[in-house]
Structure 1
Amino acid sequence: MRKKVATKKRFKILSMLFITVVINYLDRSNISVAAFAISDDLKLNSIQMGFIFSAFSWTYAGLQIPGGMIVDKVKARVIYTFMLVFWSISTLVQGLVSSFGALIGLRASIGVFEAPSYPTNNAVVTKWFPEKDRATAIGIYTSGQYIGLAFLTPVLVSIQNYMGWRGLFIVSGVIGLVWGGVWYVFYRDPENYKGINESELKYIKQDKKIEIDLETLIRKKFNWIDLKHAFSNRKLWGLYIGQFCLVALSIFFLTWFPTYLVQYRGLSFLQSGFLASIPFFAAFLGVLLSGLTSDYLIRKGYSKEISRKAPIIGGMLLSTCIIGANYTDSTFFIIFFLALAFFGNGFASITWVFVSIMAPKKIIGLTGGVFNFFGGLAGVIIPIVIGYLVKDGDFKPALFFIGIVALIGVFSYVILVGSVKQILIK
């Protein structure tokens, strides 16, 4: 009897996850496009803008651990719909306020509602993809944060140019509200997805990692010893520190980058919108190549040590090229160095695969929450530090700072993470 060909429903889920990540980062980063106009309209200085940029991550980072716990308990269909609707409302309302305090509060509220998003992304991929395909899947949905901004940054700049910064926030919020409804209608877990056949289910569940009894995990009561496990392992600390360092460069591009081009490099607002898209596109290429390269090396029989860590270490080393922008006044070379650095950041961004592979199986969500907490912590610290470093009108110390942080990330993966294997706990 001829074997039935497996359906491909997992790729439809992956495309939905990709679009969700695009919208997620649209609502995180539209503040960077609006920043110059906001600071001019509301008379805010660089230190105040640094705090506005940072406010999102105050709550986003602080709620990563509770968010990870929620992901272990609540179905992805429900939690993502809730998140999308409420962070989109907060985004929309930003276009209606006129004070420093209100902007701080609304940015912080977006952080609250987006906090469980990446642990949810990781949980969805773990449910829908076998381990050998996971790095590629993670690379594809992660690329949404870059390719979306690569193509949307000129669009966002144009919207602001015609509708003002308030119109930019309102349009962004409406998009998220619509997509929240789409997610609720169409997303299901593999076992409940209409049209999926037994062959695809068998393919998805081919390795033991995702054959965990998820219902048992959901029913399991929280134990404080889980927190001890999440914070007491050297390898996990290597992942946490590495994630902080990786996110640091991304935060620069999601917050200060357009202001850097306009205010410190003298480009026009519309010109900056088109040039700003180049590093985002470079980061997108880096993300795709990272996942494809890593999974290709796995299929060719290379160890996880080489296949999973090489893109991250190589990418973080490339990220230090951001310092090169300090040594040129050429617009071409400024964008070149920034694009090369962001390409490296994208090439290193499959770090979530380490949570999937190395996290103790009974605290995958919690480990993902702690992991993302440290990424969020970069979002708290980096914008404020840059705001202070540039207060005298010189951006060079800020770029040096970002380059050094990337180098620390390299040492974290080399020295602390060590061999790539699942961490076992009793």
Structure 2
Amino acid sequence: MQESKPTRARYLILLMVFVVTIVNYADRATISIAGSSIQKDLGIDPIQLGYIFSAFGWAYVIGQIPGGWLLDRFGSKRVYACSIFTWSLFTLLQGTIGEFGQSTIVIAFFFLRFMVGLAEAPSFPGNARIVASWFPTQERGTATSIFNSAQYCATVIFAPLMGAIVYHWGWQHVFIVMGSVGILMSGLWLITIYSPKSHPLANSAEVEYIAQNGGMVDLDAPRTKSAPGNTWNYLGQLLTNRMMVGVYLGQFCINALVYFFLTWFPVYLVQDRGMTILKAGIVASLPAICGFIGGVLGGLLSDWLLRKGYSLSVARKTPLVLGLLLSMTMIGCNYADSDSIVVALMALAFFGKGFSGQSWTVMSDTAPKQIAGLAGGLFNMIGNISSITTPIVIGYIIAATGSFKMALVFVGANAFIAAFSYLFIVGEIKRIELKEPTTQASKAESAASQQAVNRQ
């Protein structure tokens, strides 16, 4: 009997990851969309709002390693579903914040935003883990670029929608609507996501195709619980591995570009370029569109290079380095008089940022099988320290110089350092094989064996 053709259940998995990531980023953006109305209605001053803004970033960084450990311990399906439900619940609860007394509003808001960040911590390590499990190496670049580009789609789709909700029904309804969408999404996740070998829509031919071409189809298979000492030993091996140090440095610098566009870019358009808030809002969405296009194209190029026989290192590094160097075009805004040229340069820079979006693919390609989730959590934790440092550093630069010129140079320099790291520090890209820590029993056995050899 002829073997049936491979099914394509992995594309349904990718669609679900893509949609959930859109909701993920939309929930992060709720506070920024509703921020001005919240200030006006609740009497929150800019300093207090700044603390509320920071709550997500601190919690998100803190939660990365615990989130990655949970993914490895209990599997992507259950942990991610719990994550979606929890962050959505805390998003919804922010819609009730007006019921608190004036003295507790800031504390309550900070706590709820902190919990959203903590609950979202497993999301991107979970995405990388699912892609590593479901997609063969030669498809992984495209799959990763698609889920990574969801962050740009979230801005394009939900920013106008949430703005309309605030305008017509009030800021409270933004949190209630987005929280409700997320809670429904957690239920859909549970009935859609499975490991490759247990998915009802994936036949044995598809599972075999994935496994034979580099997919880790057994990633969520039951395994014995590792000792805490093993986990710390594994983390130590990652932090002392030259390839991973280069990858971590690259991700930290790449995220400096992300958080410039998420925080200071609209302010730059208004204060430095003299645009109206309405015009700045429209202009700010253009880089997001270009970032999405660049992200998908970068993934397609990476996988095309693999199919053409180029090494994994060449296939991943080519779009990464080219995109990062292209991102440096934003420095040209310092010498542009025309707003249209500024917009074009910024759109080109964000296209480059999207095109370089293979860093999570590299994470999927290199993560050790024993701690795929934990490795992704460590990677995301180090990278997202930029969510704290970049806005602060740019603020100090602007305060000291009175303009954005050196701020743009700072962001461009981060792109250059990331490209340098991938070219000269990372070296060959390959999956890490962790060394198992030596136990006391194995040490004794080894010593006894050596004594026996010596007696002979």
* Residues 1:185 and 2:194 aligned together: no
Task: Please give the residue correspondences for 1:300-319 in structure 2 after superposition, counting only pairs within 5 Å.
Answer: 300-319=308-327
* Residues 1:157 and 2:168 aligned together: no
Structure 2 equivalent of residue 128 of structure 1? 134
CA distance in 2: counterparts of 1:169 and 1:128, whole angstroms: 33
Structure 1 equivalent of residue 248 of structure 2? 240
3-state DSSP class of the match of 2:74?
coil
**RMSD of the TM alignment (CA)?**
2.4
The answer as to whether partners of 1:90 and 1:173 remain within 8 angstroms in 2 is yes
Give 2:234's match in structure 1, choosing from 223, 226, 233. Answer: 226
Structure 2 equivalent of residue 44 of structure 1? 45
Structure 2 equivalent of residue 336 of structure 1? 344
CA distance in 1: counterparts of 2:274 and 2:175, whole angstroms: 25
Stretch of structure 1 that moved more, 9-18 or 402-411: 402-411
Structure 2 equivalent of residue 250 of structure 1? 258
* Residues 1:6 and 2:10 aligned together: no
3-state DSSP class of the match of 1:271?
helix
The answer as to whether partners of 1:312 and 1:349 remain within 8 angstroms in 2 is yes
**What is the identity, as a one-letter code, of the residue corresponding to 2:324?**
M
Instruction: Mark the structure with the bigger radius of gyration.
Output: 2
| Aligned-pair identity (%) | 42
Structure 2 equivalent of residue 296 of structure 1? 304
Residue-pair matches, total:
425
Structure 1 equivalent of residue 362 of structure 2? 354
What is the TM-score when the length of structure 2 is the normalising length? Answer: 0.86
The answer as to whether partners of 1:153 and 1:276 remain within 8 angstroms in 2 is no
What is the TM-score when the length of structure 1 is the normalising length? Answer: 0.92
Structure 2 equivalent of residue 22 of structure 1? 22
3-state DSSP class of the match of 1:220?
coil
Q: 1:65 to 1:128 in 2, by over 3 A?
A: same
CA distance in 1: counterparts of 2:164 and 2:398, whole angstroms: 27
The CA deviation at 1:279 is 0.6
3-state DSSP class of the match of 1:297?
helix
The answer as to whether partners of 1:298 and 1:307 remain within 8 angstroms in 2 is yes
Stretch of structure 1 that moved more, 8-17 or 24-33: 24-33
Give 2:405's match in structure 1, choosing from 388, 396, 410. Answer: 396
Give 2:427's match in structure 1, choosing from 400, 418, 426. Answer: 418
Stretch of structure 1 that moved more, 137-146 or 50-59: 50-59
The answer as to whether partners of 2:54 and 2:388 remain within 8 angstroms in 1 is yes
**What is the identity, as a one-letter code, of the residue corresponding to 2:237?**
H
Superposed CA offset, 1:283-328 (max 9, x none): 0011101110000000001122211101111111112222233333
CA distance in 2: counterparts of 1:163 and 1:268, whole angstroms: 24
Structure 1 equivalent of residue 67 of structure 2? 67
CA distance in 2: counterparts of 1:136 and 1:112, whole angstroms: 28
Q: 1:19 to 1:214 in 2, by over 3 A?
A: closer
The answer as to whether partners of 1:58 and 1:108 remain within 8 angstroms in 2 is yes
**What is the identity, as a one-letter code, of the residue corresponding to 1:91?**
T
Q: 1:101 to 1:143 in 2, by over 3 A?
A: same
CA distance in 2: counterparts of 1:270 and 1:44, whole angstroms: 23
**What is the identity, as a one-letter code, of the residue corresponding to 1:359?**
A
Q: 1:195 to 1:367 in 2, by over 3 A?
A: closer
The CA deviation at 1:402 is 1.5
CA distance in 1: counterparts of 2:48 and 2:410, whole angstroms: 20
**What is the identity, as a one-letter code, of the residue corresponding to 1:80?**
Y
The answer as to whether partners of 1:135 and 1:292 remain within 8 angstroms in 2 is yes
**What is the identity, as a one-letter code, of the residue corresponding to 1:283?**
G
3-state DSSP class of the match of 2:349?
helix
CA distance in 2: counterparts of 1:25 and 1:57, whole angstroms: 13
3-state DSSP class of the match of 1:106?
helix
Stretch of structure 1 that moved more, 260-269 or 222-231: 260-269
Superposed CA offset, 1:356-391 (max 9, x none): 222333232222111011122111212233344445
Gaps of 5+ in 1: none
Structure 1 equivalent of residue 148 of structure 2? 142
